[in-house]
A and B are shown apart, each in its own frame.
Chain A
């Protein structure tokens, strides 16, 4: 069983990211279930997408990942990565971008959103954390909306390189096929660029 979480803020495209992963799982013949946060939280609140894949031929029953069992958490925002940390397994991989989205509560409290402290906390508490320079990827591609796909590609690539997270079960080319099946054709090239930029960024 592969348990993946996508942790972000409403509007960041976590649903698309989980659909792409599910599509990749289907292509491999795995049983898969996803679950999304829909409703009030989508208005800029925390959202959590669950993807569960029976990569050893198991049936997936529950739609939700249990705490402490996520093999991989794809954080689209550092604070949301920290919030989801309790789901990560002891050996799980978390990919997290450098760019934060300030919360209005932080602003109202008169304090500043301290992304560096959050990233440091993640590094301290999780065994495998990869901080991705999302800002430069997004700038290279020229569109902030590709962050979800870039982080997904980083997770797949680092899983393969490090042998943790998705444990090498999905290759980058399988991810790209799933991408082609999931996004509108006119956005495909843009998203492929995001994948390439994310991989390059992980390797640099």
Chain B
């Protein structure tokens, strides 16, 4: 069996399958999504036997489903990104009291930076708030080991267990030896057994709280004896120590490998909660000073301070709280090395070595933020709503997904973005506070089902005069094209009847629901105008598939004789397939240029990159000179 290069998330999936996981459910969110996708792919190929895998409607639905499956005895895995745990926090808090039967592991990916998230929240904090143990791997390999242990720990103590990798673990790849196929662990013959403990009455909660308080110290003791909190000792008589958790441990290891330091101890904490006090107490013995490297919150630092205080240890703890390490964002090898050098009072030799690229910056690279793809249907939807609103005062509420990118110029079509589904309800708040404005909320199809329905019901119930714009591109695009209830495709390979967004909106009592093709400017503008003018809750559904799902049409072409270089098209749409290009820069070209071109004196024309253009034709109506023409036969090179 050759070794396979697996992304961290894929490795976690294999580890869970190796542990006999039977039910896997989650909601997509960067950087967590590839775990469920890996399980689904292995299931589809027949390599994951008797496994059920699904994208649930949202995180809360996923965790509740798993609570049931676990009570029947199945090993269960939940996946989400850090903010997804906010959505699933309601079931999690009570589930820890009620307890589980089949091992239940929550794979929650944190995102220091943040790179693709709304917050820099720390799931280790969430774990201690929920009184649930959490494992924090420093590499995909350690995470692989932790997964099997987590299932076992969960069943031994009757508790949900969280594994929280961070982006650099989720999306780092390494080679793994993995088997060809997996078999889910069978359910216990008795299955679910009725018991009063499964019902969370206040009396039961009081009793369960006692059980939780008893098992946490037992787990802390057990953690001290696991291999997940290794301590390295270099030299004799060390008085300085280093503590690190998560990927920071890898940065510190690399930094240490290039440094000459006096005697030190280095502790990696892979089980931050409940804190492995015994192991850490042993590590601290004889140390005067400790520096702590961790991302997001100062969780380890707090625990060390607490331990030092409780046990009257004469040790100073440095980290985020006293500004010794970075208070937010990501750590890095070079940052850890610089801070270690100053902590130990040595010179940072590597920083002194000159890097390439010194010598002043004369030319800056182009600013290149992420943009809506060429041919994205959302571009047409935003354009239409802005046109329909014209100069009316309005608030445009956005939401979570690719369409958050609608905030960028030139579309400039989003004023707010808070959390999944919030746009629909925030628009209602704006309307209550400022009834004179048009309040429009954009929401994607997947987000609509994940957290939009309650907001729609609220608007109908309380009669808020808002307009919902559902951007239906038939997928969960931002996280990599996952199916959802509106598509009907399931990860088990089946196809259920797609939930019809139009019917759902009508059934919920939205007074006016119109539908339009996002690429047809006239149809889209008139649909948007009708909905915005309607008194009471109204909705427009813009349809147009995500470009990741369909084969492109032939590129549009630009009649360079007709183009005046006014760039009206680019300023209207900002499609990345378009760019302004000089036609006189090249002397050869100038010689060849037709005489009338010289007369027109056009310095630049708009050109379309045929490899990016999907032929959506949205731009054809934006040129006042009719210079953009629809293309001919579809291009065959990329098919």
Contact A64 B173 (CB under 8 A): no
**B5 pairs with A26, CB closer than 8 A:** yes
* A to B CB contacts below 8 Å, 8 in the list: A35-B171, A82-B363, A104-B574, A104-B576, A105-B368, A106-B366, A118-B363, A125-B359
Chain B 30-41 interface mask (CB, 8 Å, partner A; 1/0): 110000000000
Quick check: A107 and B637 within 8 Å, CB to CB? no
Whether B369 pairs with A105 at a CB distance below 8 angstroms is: yes
Expressed in whole angstroms, the Cα–Cα distance for A44 and B334 within the complex equals 28
On whether the beta carbons of A143 and B638 are closer than 8 Å, the reply is yes
Partner of A124, one of B251, B362, B570, B609: B362
For residue A167, CB closer than 8 A to chain B, the reply is: no
Which stretch of B459-467, B513-521, B579-587 is in the interface? B579-587
Please determine whether A33 and B253 come into contact, CB atoms closer than 8 angstroms. Answer: no
Query: A46 and B368: CB pair below 8 A?
Result: yes
Q: B247 contacts which chain A residues (CB < 8 A)?
A: 62-63
CB distance from B486 to the nearest CB of A (A): 21
Q: Which residues of A contact B310 (CB under 8 A)?
A: none
- Indicate if A133 sits at the interface (CB-CB under 8 A): no
A111 nearest CB across to chain B (Å): 8
A43-B373, A124-B359 known; 12 other A-B pairs, CB under 8 Å? Answer: A32-B174, A33-B172, A40-B115, A62-B332, A64-B333, A66-B254, A68-B355, A82-B364, A107-B578, A112-B581, A113-B579, A145-B638
CB–CB B173/A22 < 8 A: yes
Number of A-B contacts (CB under 8 A): 190
Chain A residues with CB under 8 A of B367: 103, 105-106
Is B357 in contact with A88, judged by CB distance below 8 angstroms? Answer: yes
Instruction: Give the residues in chain A near B116, CB-CB below 8 Å.
Output: 38-41
Question: Out of A32, A34, A90, which one reaches B355, CB within 8 Å?
Answer: A90
Chain A residues within 8 Å of B135, by CB = none
Q: A61-B250, A90-B355 are in contact. Are A82 and B365 (CB under 8 A)?
A: yes
B 84-119 binary contact with A (CB < 8 Å = 1; else 0)? 000000000000000000000000000000011000
Which residues of chain A have a CB within 8 Å of any CB of chain B? 9-10, 19, 22-23, 26, 32-46, 58, 61-64, 66-69, 79-80, 82-83, 85-86, 88-92, 101-108, 110, 112-114, 117-118, 120-121, 124-127, 142-145
B368 touches A35 (CB 8 A): no
Q: B171 contacts A38, CB within 8 Å?
A: yes
B610's closest neighbor in chain A, by CB?
A144
CB distance from B341 to the nearest CB of A (A): 14
> SS class of chain B's interface: helix, strand, loop or mixed?
loop
The residues of A that contact B358 with a CB separation of less than 8 Å are: 125
Query: Is B410 an interface position by the 8 A CB rule?
Result: yes
Whether A39 lies near B359 (C-beta < 8 A) is: no
Q: Decide if A85 touches B363 in the complex (CB within 8 Å).
A: no
B313 CB-CB contact with A under 8 Å: no
Contact check, B580 vs A107: say whether CB atoms are below 8 A apart.
Answer: yes
Mask, B554-586, CB within 8 Å of A = 1, is: 000000000000010011001110111110000
List B contacts of A45 (CB < 8 A): 368-371
Which 3 pairs of residues, A with B, have the shortest CB-CB distance? A68-B355, A39-B116, A45-B370
Bound form: Cα–Cα A138–B437 in Å: 53
A66 to B353 CA separation, bound complex (whole angstroms): 13
Complex Cα spacing A36 to B115, Å: 12
Q: Are A79 and B368 in contact (CB under 8 A)?
A: yes
A126–B83 Cα distance when bound, in Å, is 42
Query: In the complex the two chains form, what is the Cα distance from A108 to B40 in whole Å?
Result: 42
Indicate whether B611 reaches chain A with its CB closer than 8 angstroms: yes
Closest to B4 in A: A26
